[in-house]
Structure 1
Amino acid sequence: MFFIEHGSRRVHIAGVTRHVTAAWATQCARNLLMSRDDARTASIRYLIRGNAGYFTEGFDAVFTAVGARVMPILAGVPRMNAIAERWVGSCTS
């Protein structure tokens, strides 16, 4: 699990597991926000995320609680998450 700050392209590795669950993903989101100061947390306006089953309402609620708008990737719009896809590609090649 990773998060990328769009403006700076800073990558935050939130955790690694072979068995992703909704509870684990939600805790990774909480850990990310706890590691940031209030000003950086308040600057989160959007979260673009995949459509995997472990991104539940609980995961989204972590970000909506700090005022972010959660935007799942739309089907048929491959460029919506291009920065994250490029980062993953650079890690696996």
Structure 2
Amino acid sequence: MHAPSAVAMNAHAERFVRSVRAERTDQMLLHNEQHTRRVLAEYAEHDNSGRPHRALQLRAPADDPDVIPLPAQRIQRHDVLSGLVHEYRDTP
């Protein structure tokens, strides 16, 4: 017996794998399993907390739904994965 959402979960997993490959692993040389795990963990953190998702009205999955984002006065760039990904955050 399988869960009714298994098909939908497969689509989410495939989308994540496609994004990881297009944005990270196809652009870098992975040295070993430990390096691969570190890159994937850092990308997953970025995907869940820093990357806007269209399905979530350009919010990250880890964003607090009770907080309304304000327009940023100043923006600071934060490099992820040795500068391959750039996250932008407002500064106080």
TM-score range, shorter chain: under 0.3
Q: Identify, as 1 or 2, the structure richer in strand.
A: 1
Taking structure 1 as the reference length, what is the TM-score of the superposition?
0.26
Structure number with greater Rg is: 2
Taking structure 2 as the reference length, what is the TM-score of the superposition?
0.26
Could you say which structure has the greater relative contact order, defined with CA pairs below 8 angstroms and 6 or more residues apart? 1
